[in-house]
Amino acid sequence: MRIEQAHLDLLYRHLDTARERAHRTSAGAHHGAAAGGTHQARLEREVRAREAARHAARLDAVERGLCFGRLDERDGTVHHIGRTGLTDEAYEPLLLDWRAPAARPFYTATPAHPGTVVRRRHLHTEGRTVTGLDDEALDLAGLDESGRRALVGEAALLAALARERTGRMATAVATIQAEQDRVIRSPLPGALVVQGGPGTGKTLAALHRAAYLLFTHRAALERRGVLVIGPTTGFLRYIEEVLPALGETEVVLRTVGELFPDVTTARTDAPATAVAKGGPWMTEVLRRAVAAHQSAPAEGIDLGDGLRVSARACAQARDAARGLRAPHNRARTHYLRTLLDALAIAQALSLGRPYDEEEAHYAPRELWAREDVRAALDPLWPALTPRQLVERLLTDGELLAEVAPEHAAALLRPPGSPWTVEDVPLLDEAAELLGDLHPTDRTGSATGFATETSTEAGAATEDEEELAFAQGVLTITGQTDDALLDAAALAGRFREDSPYRSTAERAGADRTWAYGHVVVDEAQELSAMAWRTVLRRIPTNSLTVVGDLAQTGSPAGARSWAQMLDPHLPGRWREERLTVNYRTPEPIMALAAAVLRTAAPGQQPPESARPGTDRPRAVPVPDGDFAAALAELPAPVGTLGVIAPDGKAPALGALTVTAAKGLEFDNVVVVEPAALAPRDLYVALTRATRTLTLLHHRPLPPELAGAL
């Protein structure tokens, strides 16, 4: 311990020095960035200031548990493993970052497959003091079967698993297991599906993977950011500290209900409606709903005084605008422009005036300024926002009968109903089909369309100039990787002239932001339409998808990964499996496994890594007064989660199964198990890390009663 303490002291001295240096650079760069100079110089300094601040924050984040392990190799080489890498003055490594390739044997070496490792040591520390060591000798000859355990660093792992839960997920860099390590270090490209039962560390591995990818591909990922999608805001709160504690800040956490700007919802639809809204057919339904807003008047246009356009010309104009295959709001400009031109020509003819260049320039514009003209033309192809379109689709029975006859009954709702999570993918799809509003539609200006061509051209040139300029700055500062994308981001910032915003902030506010990597947790809950929304945010398809098909609760969710992913990523996803449950003790897991046999007969329950002595208890509540029964339970040690059927949860102040997804508690109380669907019951039982109590008025489901 004395030797390890001396090394730890040395490491903290180097950390302090590196930190001081980073803070000094950051403060200096910020000061410089605020000072004057050309715009280019300011931008350049800001890029440096941002880099320095990030580096300083990363060094601050590793203070706790800086060094947690040591590897001794057969040739006498010793590596210390920690949360970050540190070198001495001669650039000799003092501490290996856990994500570095050389640190990998710390997580993968086993007595059966030791590689070149002869000893793995876990260091326990408190503050800057070494408080204990766990050694594993990995080259012992003649290990018997029980000695060839697959758990890596078992003593340290079991100690970590036995700790009381705080309500927040913690990092586990010291005790990552070999099968989790395979997930964490899987290559960046393509979609990786991680299927695993409850408590197998899917969330943990996915978050450590995000940190690993940011470390390994920093240049490409940091500027694009990483998006983590979770099932509920409660879940996101539970995991939000993991990545900052690993020194990573360029991460955006969102639920599906938060993926569309300015809509935040946790409200969900009834099952039949959720199924209707989540199916792939909604793409076509929305397309038809848009097309229903692109009409040509059957009788043509006649506004008197010779202002006439024939029905045929109107239909041709509409077909030509559709033929552009441009988003609705953009094609609207062309349609209206064609009709205005036709009206202007008709007007000139009726007045006996030549339709020359000057007339062609001014007449359509003047016509558009006339209220009667606008009133006649505007509704033929109205400007639409995604909210307007989706609201109209879901509330207009006639429109629904026309564009979605099979789903109309499930989709129809009263006007002004609040947005639901299932609406978000529809809004996103609508945004793609509609495109941005033309500036004149946003401002309501009367003369815009006649001048749009020149305005648009002007804006495009300005954009290009800013982009070229930002790209130049990045080249100067040596940050040319992925420069086009990042230059675009910088140019955007420059345009907004906003104060400094991080990648995560910029990405979070922009619907069309292309992330560097996306992690989807509890991915089995996503509908086909939600997948389209997610994949739009990651054009490179670099995804980590974690979930458990046995826990699917949403009626529009996945029953098989192939069925859900093949339509979007044919042949472009790979699967890893996690098989050991680190959360639920054996006696509780045995009960859950019995439920799983009914809930999802094809699915294999994970094996519990935790012995556990507390047997699950069933407490009958003959009078059905669950509130009183809860109050009578002995006060638990550690965290408590009460999970109840949807109808009972609010009154009891309990969690629904949906809200409990992905979470865990030292003690779990499940209210009226017989009222939960088998898959939901499986989810509820597997939230416990120590004790499980079942409060029941109705008889327990037979599979539970039989296994208790």
Ligand X SMILES: Nc1ncnc2c1ncn2[C@@H]1O[C@H](COP(=O)(O)OP(=O)(O)OP(=O)(O)O)[C@@H](O)[C@H]1O
User: Structure tokens of 231?
Assistant: 């099932």
Using the minimum distance from each CB to ligand X, give the nearer residue, 183 or 220: 183
Is 202 known as a binding-site position?
Answer: yes
* Residue type at 520 in one-letter notation: V
SS (H, E, C) 156-184: HHHHHHHCCCCCCCCCCCCCCCHHHHHHH
Is 304 known as a binding-site position?
Answer: no
Contact 49, 33 (CB under 8 A): yes
Among candidate residues 566, 507, 580, 570, the one with its CA nearest the CA of residue 537 = 507
Q: What is the largest CA-CA distance in the chain?
A: 107
Is 201 known as a binding-site position?
Answer: yes
Is 602 known as a binding-site position?
Answer: no
In whole angstroms, how close is the CB of 133 to ligand X at the nearest point?
Answer: 18
CA 399 to chain centre: 33
Is 435 known as a binding-site position?
Answer: no
Using the minimum distance from each CB to ligand X, give the nearer residue, 199 or 612: 199
In whole angstroms, how close is the CB of 272 to ligand X at the nearest point?
Answer: 27
Contact 198, 625 (CB under 8 A): no
Q: CA-CA distance, 262 to 503, in Å (whole number)?
A: 19
Using the minimum distance from each CB to ligand X, give the nearer residue, 157 or 380: 157
Is 553 known as a binding-site position?
Answer: no
User: Footprint of ligand X on this chain (CB under 6 A)?
Assistant: 157, 160-161, 169, 172, 175-177, 180, 196, 198-204, 548, 582-583, 662, 664, 686
Strands 251-255 and 226-230 come out as parallel
Judge residue 651's burial from the number of C-beta atoms within 10 Å of its C-beta, 0-12 exposed, 13-18 middle, 19 or more buried. exposed
Q: CA-CA distance, 205 to 182, in Å (whole number)?
A: 9
In whole angstroms, how close is the CB of 169 to ligand X at the nearest point?
Answer: 6
Query: 656: which residues sit within 8 A by CB, 6+ positions away?
Result: 643, 644, 645, 646, 649
322 pairs with which residues across the strands?
none
How far, CA to CA in Å, does 566 sit from each of 57, 350, 533, 539?
40, 60, 16, 16
Using the minimum distance from each CB to ligand X, give the nearer residue, 26 or 689: 689
Q: CA-CA distance, 77 to 70, in Å (whole number)?
A: 10
Q: CA-CA distance, 366 to 389, in Å (whole number)?
A: 30
How far, CA to CA in Å, does 52 sit from each of 88, 100, 516?
20, 22, 21
In whole angstroms, how close is the CB of 607 to ligand X at the nearest point?
Answer: 13
Using the minimum distance from each CB to ligand X, give the nearer residue, 502 or 639: 639
Question: The tokens 């606008």 sit on which residue?
Answer: 374
In whole angstroms, how close is the CB of 400 to ligand X at the nearest point?
Answer: 37
Is 196 known as a binding-site position?
Answer: yes
Mind giving me the DSSP string for 28-67? HHHHHHHS-S-HHHHHHHHHHHHHHHHHHHHHHHTSTTSE
Using the minimum distance from each CB to ligand X, give the nearer residue, 157 or 263: 157
Using the minimum distance from each CB to ligand X, give the nearer residue, 525 or 548: 548
In whole angstroms, how close is the CB of 533 to ligand X at the nearest point?
Answer: 22
In whole angstroms, how close is the CB of 8 to ligand X at the nearest point?
Answer: 22
Contact 328, 434 (CB under 8 A): yes
In whole angstroms, how close is the CB of 106 to ligand X at the nearest point?
Answer: 12
In whole angstroms, how close is the CB of 9 to ligand X at the nearest point?
Answer: 27
Question: The tokens 């609705």 sit on which residue?
Answer: 328
In whole angstroms, how close is the CB of 230 to ligand X at the nearest point?
Answer: 10
Is 199 known as a binding-site position?
Answer: yes
Using the minimum distance from each CB to ligand X, give the nearer residue, 175 or 667: 175
Q: CA-CA distance, 514 to 501, in Å (whole number)?
A: 17
In whole angstroms, how close is the CB of 455 to ligand X at the nearest point?
Answer: 51
Using the minimum distance from each CB to ligand X, give the nearer residue, 65 or 196: 196
Using the minimum distance from each CB to ligand X, give the nearer residue, 176 or 346: 176
- Integer-rounded Cα Rg, in Å, for the chain is 31
User: What SS3 class is residue 396?
Assistant: coil
Q: CA-CA distance, 259 to 277, in Å (whole number)?
A: 16
Using the minimum distance from each CB to ligand X, give the nearer residue, 492 or 585: 585
* Residue type at 508 in one-letter notation: G
* Residue type at 471 in one-letter notation: Q
Which parts are annotated binding residues for ATP? Answer: 196-203
Q: What residues are designated binding site?
A: 196-203
